Amino acid sequence: MAASAWAHVVSMSTGELRFDGPIATYELRMPMYEVAHVTNPETALLDHVRFAGALRVSSACRQDNGTYVCTATYEFPRMPTTVDATCTLFQITVPNHVHLLTAISGANNDQAVFDQTIPQRTLRLRPPSRLEEIARSLLSGMWRALASPVALFLIALAIAARSKREAAFLIAMYLAGEWLMRPIAPRIPWPLAPRFLEAAMALTVAYLAIEILALPKAGNRGPIVLGLGLLHGLYFASFPAVYLAGATLIQAVLIAMLALAALRWATPAIHRLATILVLAAGLGWFALRLLKISM
């Protein structure tokens, strides 16, 4: 299990799709260490990057100074104004793999980020406005937070709050931890496998639930929540800051709603039952990820 935990906190590749009329040339660049465990990378990599309506007419791959480079030519029925792209590289590399794709047509260009939560994106071959870029990134960050163990942790955090003031303090400490991790993550001296990281995140949910059950009148949980926020911040570390801004916004809204509901309507029996369910969910998620690590 320890040996299988070695991977990369940030797994990333880049791609450029450059148009000349209805003909487009795509170049995929990926570090060689990311390709090491990919079977038949000369065909598999390009098979996991697709453009709707395009026919791939040629392709070739090579090594270039520690980088694996694949180049392919695509033919579209006509010069498109938008490109519907699908990237599933996370299926053959590591689950937290991120692909940054840039589409260029003359002076027009657009950029999109793909991962396992957002494998499909539409790129517009016109200059996107700054507002469009920000809105798209904010929404992507929101979705990434909702489709992750973070959402389960927020429920546990809402249960842990015993007053409105404490709820505000705990979410502030948690979100601060996520943001503090951004400058720390690139300096972490050891790699963490994504499944190991998800298992650890699930375990934080179980830990907080156990503390609520065993120590219902425990004192200041702020430092603990700050530390757990640092761990969760690794989940967003490889994305632009605006993604985390979107995640921060949706997390703040959700925790406020959940905490208010718990404080206003939850009886002691419901409070305890909800804590037990969160504990079971956290342990279940942890066991599932642990099983996948060991396979």
pLDDT digits (tens, 9 = 90+) for 49-78: 999 999 999 999 999 988 999 999 999 999
Pick 31 or 243 by higher pLDDT: 31
pLDDT over 70 at 292, yes or no: no
Residue 36, pLDDT score: 82
pLDDT level of residue 284 (50, 70, 90 thresholds)? confident
Task: Indicate if the pLDDT at residue 6 is higher than 90.
Answer: no
> Over the stretch 158-182, which tens digit does the pLDDT of each residue have?
888 888 888 889 989 999 998 999 8
| Domain boundaries, given as residue ranges, for the chain | 3-128, 146-294
Query: pLDDT confidence of 7, banded at 50, 70, 90?
Result: very low
Residue-wise DSSP of the chain: -TGGG-S-SSEEEEEEEEEETTEEEEEEEEEHHHHTT-SSHHHHHHHTEEETT-EEEEEEEEEETTEEEEEEEEE-SS--SEEEEEE-GGGTS-TTEEEEEEEEETTEEEEEEE-SS--EEEEESS---HHHHHHHHHHHHHHHHHTSHHHHHHHHHHHH--SHHHHHHHHHHHHHHHHHHHHHGGG-SS---HHHHHHHHHHHHHHHHHHHHH-TT----HHHHHHHHHHHHTTTTTS-HHHHHHHHHHHHHHHHHHHHHHHHH--HHHHHHHHHHHHHHHHHHHHHHHHHHH-
Lowest mean pLDDT, pick from 30-39, 73-82, 121-130: 121-130
Query: Is residue 150's pLDDT more than 70?
Result: yes
- For residue 127, the model assigns a pLDDT of 61
More confident call, 232 vs 8: 232
pLDDT digits (tens, 9 = 90+) for 186-205: 787 766 666 777 788 888 99
Residue 8 clears pLDDT 60, i.e. is over it: no
pLDDT confidence band for 291 (50 / 70 / 90):
confident
- Higher pLDDT residue, 284 or 51? 51
pLDDT for residue 125? 83
Asked if the model's pLDDT at residue 2 lies above 70, the reply is: no
Quick one: average pLDDT of 70-94? 93
pLDDT the model gives residue 144: 65
Neighbours of 228 (CB within 10 A): 25
Is the pLDDT confidence value at 98 over 50? yes
Query: For the whole prediction, is pTM greater than 0.75?
Result: no
User: Percent of the chain scored above 70 by pLDDT?
Assistant: 88
